[in-house]
Structure 1
Amino acid sequence: MNIRLPPAPIFFVLVFISPPSSGCEDSGRSVWIEEAGTVARVLLKTPTQTQQLVEAARGELLDVTHSRQGAAWSKWNGSDWDIQVWRAGHVQTLGRPGRDDGQPVIWEKGVAWISAHLMDVRVISRLWTGESETLPGVLAENLASRARGLSWVSWSPRGPKAWLFDEQGARQVQPEAPPLEASRAEEGIESDSSEWTALWAPIGTHGPPLPRTTHATVQVATERLVVFGGEVWDESCTQFLGLDNVLWTLDLVNGKWVQTAPEPSPSKRCHTPLAIDPTRRLALLWGGAGLNTNGEIELLDDTWLLDTTALRWTEVSTSVQPKAGADAGLVHDPTADRFLLFRRGEVWEFQTAEKRWVKLDISPGPPPREAVTVALDPTTRKVLFFGGNAGSRYFEDTWILDLSTAEWREIRNGPHPSARVRVAHALDRERRIVALYGGVLGPYSSRKSDLWVFDFESERWSLAICQGSVSPGPRGGFHGMGFDPSSGVFTLFGGRSDSVRHHNDVWRLKLERRSR
């Protein structure tokens, strides 16, 4: 069983029209499609076909080719490229036969791969007709002839390269797309414009909790990671065990997990925010999603304070409080000695000393939503507000709330993460940056594996270039991530890769600013 709150996503795509390339047999137009910084080329006959492909691709467009029989593009699955085939308005996912570097081409008998390196062409090496086979040389040459005029954009850290197929074979041409900067790392794209490099490393631990997702995570100073609640699965990830209200702490020095169940405690739940006052070492928990006696989802509105030193919960009863809900954004504001909660267009403050909720009168800002990512810069008292969803609508916009003026301002100044919810994120107060990792577009969509950094000083996003050979891979289902200010290390726990892969591993992340 999974606790699924949001429905399927909707994507928003910008389309640029340019003249067809020389040598192209197709009478249609050459279309550059840009989605969250990713640019792909599509050769289609009509705007209607273009829109159908955009909707079918669900925002995962990359290296698109087209013929009169359909279209194909590459999609990164976390470890390799899958081929997405579009015909007559329907999409089919094909695993790549073999591990070559080829690009997909649609023709009347199936999908073929053309592998091109620099100015050399390995012609077509694979064919998909329901099963793969090696093409005879004559057939390969014939297919190459039929495929002439098809083009794609290949990527490198130095930027895009376009390949054009015609009677001369394959050759590199200058892209006609708008200038590009960074794009999504899970699609294998890096950029020299990135300001940050990232290094992931797994942490060996003893006695970890069972695999889980939609749990809450905070870090206490340098020594402990605190995990609460979530959807829990058995070790094999084949059986849903229910929700949890156990408090887990990880000693980041010796790698040992400790389980506690203090009384009283919040009820079993998931999709709940948790934020910490680092000075008091006091964490605030609000709401979330539980299950009633009939096994149905029940939204909660209770408020709890956690003494992270004594590991003791205290319930706070208030006459006024936010309406029951889950996936709220929650941050601590040290200047005003309060916590701020963001949900459905409302901003609430929890006054720590008075232990009460107050709804704030804030100027109109972002459209109402849930599952938003928020972080507060204590230096400027500005709140980063990114993403989230309102029903089936998913957002990729970025806003700043200036607490000194109570005014909202949208940020539109370059590359940014694509639409998503339930990311892993944490604030580095010293460098005034926010690390944002992964996330998901809904319970049935692929998870993300890209890592973005938001700089409060420049108010810009930058896609970090991941170094090393290991990483957590595509994941979502997070509410928070740990950060150690003394070492500059972020800590990630658990999450979900897909409907049958849940995790209980721990990863450390180190971010370094690139020298120029």
Structure 2
Amino acid sequence: MKPVAETEHLDSFSIAISKKGHLMASNPPFSSSSSSSSSSSPRPSIAQLSNDHIISVLLLLPIESVLSFSMACRRFRSLASSDALWEPICRRDWGGAGAVDALVASFSPQERLRISWRRLYAQVSHLSSLSCRRLSCNSGAFPSPRASHSLAFVSDWLVLFGGGSEGGRHLDDTWIAYVGNGCNRALSWQHINSGIPSGRFGQTCTVLGNYLVLFGGISDNGDRLNDTWIGETFYEGQDMRIAWRLLNVNSVVPSPRGAHAACCVADCRMVVHGGIGLHGLRLNDTWILNLSDDFRSGRWHQINNVQSLPPPRSGHTLTWIGGTYMVLFGGRGSGYEVLNDVWLLDIGIANSEWKELKYELYGLPSEMPLPRVGHSATLVLGRKILVYGGEDSQRHRKDDFWVLDVGALPRFQTVGLKKSPRNFWKKLQVEGHHPLYRSFHGACTDKSGRYVYIFGGMVDSIIQPAEPSGLTFNAELHQIELVLQL
């Protein structure tokens, strides 16, 4: 008798075969005979299917079912360990061919020869450590120290805009640096001028394809802004330039704000949530910007009639995880309390839905990140959200790295609140040059999700006799790499 778990997964395989047959009824995959399409013909057993057909069916199943299926017999064990199966699984589960192709491009020629896609999938799934290094700047100009700025990755380039600096000055400069495949240890920053927005900090700058969408922020005078800018990128050989222009939007727009959160949804929409509005009021409204006419115009609309909303906050993060889903984490609430709650937003249904992802701790509170504001959250390889830094209610800054397993979210929704997955959060070990404790920095990931870049922020420093505190604006650039053993 087969174990119950194995039987269930083989049943899943049978169901997948039925689905595959239904979807391909016009060209049944199970036999080359024309009579096989007849409804009276018996279906062949699994053992009679070709390897290509078995792989096409396995790609319809979750990983747990694939692994259980591999235990059925020696032939299936060999097939379920092959790169012919695991490379398309990686492409399926890691955000499509583009991310995987970018990952392969980041490997050296020798590393590419050693790739085992099953082992690589396992390492990413059980990610436990990161490697950090500080990138030096080649001779020439470079960005001044700042915090609450924007840092984005567009077509192998880092794009830095604005932020607050020493003396309370809010910057209006745009800087770019070519990154390439992530192997460079020194970068050259270039300062560019091209119809840039006014100086501000606490804005968001979101990447949609080859465009940047900048919204809101706080001006030198403390005014909250609600203007929307489009940065169109152009490439000439190894050079890049950006043309900023004010986006033509409808009369219904989000109220002015700063320290809000935003993320893209595919390459045509942006979602904005919360922030600090007029008179210091913290917000909890959610807006969607739909772009049209080749990004020449856009239309804002607010998500209404939502039963459950996250409490008002600022300094939080909103991260797109694929499809119509995004994850909100942390921030500072209306009573200046610092939060560490997690919310899932789905905008793909008739009435968009917020759902708080509560979970039980099985041991110490160290199983999840402590409350924080001014942190960063980026989607990395393997569809995991990497959270770094931030500060608590006493403005004690942090230097820890955590990953939230996006793959656990569907299981979470299925099993309910009292049986939440143990590996919802995981703290990572750090190798190499560890960044300073910091908050309100900029962070972004490259196309592969293997490298994360962190620039600037507020850092703790040694207190000098003339300084009332050890708070310092920073201008360091760090590269964070997911440790993979090929």
TM-score interval w.r.t. the shorter chain? 0.5 to 0.7
Measured in 1, the distance between the counterparts of 2:308 and 2:269 equals 22
Higher share in helix: 2
- Residue 441 of structure 1 and its aligned partner are, at CA, apart by 2.7
For 2:449 and 2:337, locate their aligned partners in 1 and report how far apart those are by CA, in whole Å: 38
Cα distance in 2 for partners of 1:247, 1:210 equals: 11
Q: Which amino acid letter does the alignment assign opposite residue 434 of structure 2?
A: S
Q: Deviations over 1:249-292 (max 9, x none)?
A: 112246110001212x2111001111111x2x111111111123
Alignment of 1:100-139 (within 5 A): none
Instruction: Tell me the distance in 2 between the aligned counterparts of 1:305 and 1:260.
Output: 16
Find the counterpart in structure 2 of residue 286 from structure 1.
215
Decide which structure has greater strand share. 1
- 1:197/1:514 contact within 8 Å kept: no
Structure 2 CA distance for partners of 1:487 and 1:271, relative to 1, 3 Å? closer
How far residue 241 of structure 1 moved from its aligned partner, in angstroms, is 6.5
In structure 2, relative to structure 1, the CA distance for the partners of 1:512 and 1:407 (3 Å cut) is farther
* 1:244 Cα offset (Å): 0.5
For the pair 1:213 / 2:138, whether they are aligned, the reply is no
- SS at structure 1 position matched to 2:479: strand
Aligned length: 303
- Alignment partner of 2:286 out of 340, 347, 359: 347
In the aligned structure 2, how far is the partner of 1:350 from the partner of 1:326?
17
Following superposition, the deviation at residue 486 of structure 1 comes to 3.4
Assess, with a 3 A threshold, how the Cα gap between structure 1 residues 205 and 373 changes in structure 2: closer, same or farther: same
AA aligned opposite 1:230: G
- Contact 1:194/1:465, CA 8 A, preserved across alignment: no
1:398 and 2:342 matched: yes
What TM-score do the two structures reach when normalised by structure 2? 0.59
Q: Is 2:288–2:302's contact at 8 Å kept on the other side of the alignment?
A: yes
Listed as ranges, the matches of 1:309-388 within 5 Å are: 309=234, 310-318=241-249, 319-334=251-266, 337-343=268-274, 344-353=283-292, 354-361=297-304, 362-378=306-322, 380-388=323-331
Q: Distance in 2 between matches of 1:395 and 1:440?
A: 11
CA distance in structure 1 between the partners assigned to 2:171 and 2:147 by the alignment: 11
Deviation of 1:512 after TM superposition, in Å, equals: 3.7
Rounded to whole Å, the distance in 2 between the matches of 1:276 and 1:485 is 12
Alignment partner of 2:163 out of 219, 230, 234: 230
What RMSD over aligned residues (CA atoms) do the two structures have, in Å?
2.2
C-alpha change, 1:432 and 1:261, in structure 2 (3 Å) is same
Contact preservation (8 Å) 1:196, 1:513: no
Cα contact 1:243–1:269 (8 A) shared by 2: yes
TM-score scaled by length of structure 1: 0.56
CA 1:241 to 1:209, structure 2 compared with 1: closer, same or farther past 3 Å?
farther
1:186-237, Cα deviation, whole Å (9 max, x unpaired): xxxxxxx98421111111113321111111111113x21111101123xxxx
Superposed counterparts of 1:85-100, under 5 Å: none
Aligned residue in 2 for 1:304: 229
Say which of 496, 502, 516 aligns to 2:458.
496
Matched residue type, 1:408: W
The Cα of 1:410 is off from its aligned counterpart by 1.7
Output the CA distance in 2 between the equivalents of 1:306 and 1:461: 35
Partner of 1:214, secondary structure, is coil
Q: Of residues 386, 389, 396 in structure 2, which corresponds to 1:435?
A: 386
List gaps (5 residues or longer) in structure 1: 1-192, 234-239
1:456 matched to 2:399? The reply is: no
Shift of 1:487: 6.8
Identity over the aligned pairs, expressed in percent? 24
Which residue matches 2:52?
Answer: none
Alignment match, 1:507: 478
Are residues 488 and 227 of structure 1, via their aligned partners in 2, closer, same or farther at CA, if it must alter by over 3 Å? same
Contact 1:447/1:475 (8 A) holds in 2: yes
Instruction: Please identify runs of 4+ aligned residues in structure 1 that moved more than 6 A.
Output: none
Q: Distance in 2 between matches of 1:457 and 1:385?
A: 16
The Cα of 1:365 is off from its aligned counterpart by 2.3
Decide whether the 8 Å contact of 2:402 with 2:427 is kept in 1: yes
Give the counterpart of 1:243 among 151, 170, 173: 170
Aligned residues of 1:194 and 1:464 also touching (Cα < 8 A): no
Aligned to 1:410: 356
Q: What is residue 198 of structure 2 aligned with on the other side?
A: 267
User: Shift of the alpha carbon at 1:432?
Assistant: 0.8
How far 1:510 sits from its partner (Å)?
1.1
- Kept in 2: contact 1:194–1:463 (CA 8 A): no
Query: Which position in structure 1 is the counterpart of 2:377?
Result: 425
Taking a change above 3 Å as real, the CA distance of residues 418 and 513 of structure 1, as seen in their structure-2 partners, is farther
Distance in 1 (CA, whole Å) between partners of 2:342 and 2:177 is 33
- Shift in CA distance, 363/283, structure 1 to aligned 2, threshold 3 Å: farther
